[in-house]
Amino acid sequence: MKVRISAKAKDDLRQIYRYLANKNPSASDSFIADIDSKLELLGRFPFMGRERADLAARIRSVLVWSYVIFYTVDSSEIVVIRLIDGRMDIDKEIQDWPT
């Protein structure tokens, strides 16, 4: 199944990458490789993530390092909505999500 990354999720990825690159450039490259692997796996097993109806309708999530990938699944694609550090206030970060 096709995996599409939303504009906001792309922004999240860029911010995470820059943060990690400033601390440890090899870690930032490893993180991106792990994200790519997880997205490839999601493409094959779209419902592997945890259902997150407590946050919004149709939302699922999976972890990569300490980051949570939030996504939806429909009949033709997976849409990655956000990548959020799991240590952040998730409720605050998702206030603008459709319900």
pLDDT digits (tens, 9 = 90+) for 22-79: 999 999 999 999 999 999 999 999 999 999 998 888 999 999 999 999 999 998 999 9
**b/e sequence 84-96, b meaning 16+ C-beta within 10 Å:** bbeeeebeebbee
pLDDT digits (tens, 9 = 90+) for 65-87: 999 999 999 989 999 999 999 88
Q: Model-level pTM greater than 0.95?
A: no
What is the set of domains in the chain, with CATH numbers?
2-87 (3.30.2310.20)
- d(CA 11, CA 42) in angstroms, rounded, equals 20
Residue 69 contacts residue 38 (beta carbons within 8 Å): yes
Provide the mean pLDDT of the chain. Answer: 92
Tokens of 87: 């240590």
* Average pLDDT over every residue of 11-21: 95
